[in-house]
Structure 1
Amino acid sequence: MLTPCILVCSLDENTGYCLGCGRTGAEIGAWISYSDDERRAVMETLPARMTKLAPRPGEDIGPSQQTQERSAV
């Protein structure tokens, strides 16, 4: 079955998107019942959703975000 799951299952409090794959909790729960076309349609939206999430541990972040993090300390 086609799936974007990377076994990092935790929903972001602000967006409701999974931090690992970008799906919503409802999409994750219904995934097995979706047709291949429905799965592909959701998967097309995931890259844009993932840009709205904070970087995952170990992910490289850009200089502007590094500056924001340092000033918050």
Structure 2
Amino acid sequence: MIESPCNKVCLLDPRSGWCLGCGRSGAEIAAWTRLSPEARRAIMALLPARLEGLAA
């Protein structure tokens, strides 16, 4: 099973392009299943800061 930060709140912020639920970009979401585990982990490491920025 592929690890995913998806929490079923799928709405892209028009300003940043990041998902308001998980923090990924539309391109990252679309490519998620094709990314290596290392690439997914690297993106996941960025998500907390992205979501914090969206909340500000």
Q: 1:35 Cα deviation (Å)?
A: 0.6
Map 1:4-43 to 2 at 5 A.
4-43=5-44
Partner of residue 69, structure 1? none
Which has the larger Rg?
1
Q: 1:53 Cα deviation (Å)?
A: 1.1
TM-superposition CA deviations, 1:1-45 (whole Å, max 9, x none) = 110000000100111100000000000000000010000000000
Structural RMSD (CA): 1.1
Q: 1:54 Cα deviation (Å)?
A: 3.3
TM-score, normalisation: structure 2: 0.92
Unaligned runs of 5+ in 2: none
Distance in 2 between residues matched to 1:14 and 1:51, nearest whole Å = 15
Distance in 1 between residues matched to 2:26 and 2:49, nearest whole Å = 17
TM-superposition CA deviations, 1:30-70 (whole Å, max 9, x none) = 00000100000000000000011138xxxxxxxxxxxxxxx
> Identity over the aligned pairs, expressed in percent?
55
Q: Please state if 1:49 is matched with 2:21.
A: no
Structure 1 runs of 4+ with >4 Å offset: none
